[in-house]
Amino acid sequence: MNVEGASALVAGGASGLGEATVRALHGAGASVVIADLNSERGTELAGELGERASFAEADVTDTDAVKAAVEAAAEAEGGLRVSICCAGVGWAQRVTGKQGPHDLDIYTKVISVNLIGTFNVLRLACEAMNDNEPGEDGERGVCVNTASIAAFDGQIGQAAYASSKAGVAGLTLPAARDMATRGIRVATIAPGTFDTPMLAALPQERRDALGAEIPFPSRLGEPHEFASLALEIVRNQMINGETIRLDGALRMPPR
């Protein structure tokens, strides 16, 4: 897929991994719709990037809001060819403990945003891409989702988060097979410990310790490294139906 001249949607694109991906796509010549709940930051980012960037306020679990964002990207020059979903939430709580069983409403919320929200973006983006004229290589679009190495190495207290991300990983191959005849690829990135706003509140000592746990490079991942892989997936037609770990060889211990 040629990024230049294409239209892209990035869900969760106002900060962290999503923001880095927005910047990378825009820098490569794509028109980008930034979909996010944070309207202040999303509008600011779109304004900073200027031409070929716009913001759409959207909760990934809200079908109407996601449809509107998808339509905005589909109507841009080049049509919607790239959809990347980085939206997600985290929560730490044991299945049961001193405070009783895991809060079911919170578990449902994590699954709703991380898994159902990802699927919501995927299904609506694929619907729009389905109407694209195929390129010379027969391709109509590419969807990249975000899991986590917690899908495979879930730690103590990560029952909700790990199961939501395992669902995203498990969704990848059947979705790719579903869309294969239409020339739409689906792949997933499973990042390890990255320097995102989620970790920004931690003391520097704790951040350094997290980086030191990674075999090599022994540091937190940088958002631009996630964005670089996302762009490579878009550009490399043979990457399809795969979940790629991006973790510096980290295998997370139980705690």
Residue from 255, 232, 228 nearest 242 by CA: 232
Spot the catalytic one: 161, 164, 185, 243: 161
> In the structure encoding, which two tokens stand for residue 156, read together?
């103590």
SS (H, E, C) 146-175: ECCCHHHHCCCCEHHHHHHHHHHHHHHHHH
**Which residue type occupies 176?**
A
d(CA 80, CA 33): 10
Q: Can you tell me whether residue 208 is helix, strand or coil?
A: helix
Sign (positive or negative) of CA dihedral 28, 38, 108, 127:
negative
> In the structure encoding, which two tokens stand for residue 231, read together?
């762009």
d(CA 240, CA 180): 9
107 has catalytic annotation? no
> In the structure encoding, which two tokens stand for residue 244, read together?
């790629």
Query: Does residue 253 have a cis bond before it (omega within 30 degrees)?
Result: no
Scored b (16 or more CB within 10 A) or e, 193-212 reads: bbbbeeeeeeeeeebeebbe
Over the Cα atoms of the chain, what is R_g?
18
Residues with catalytic annotation?
Answer: 161
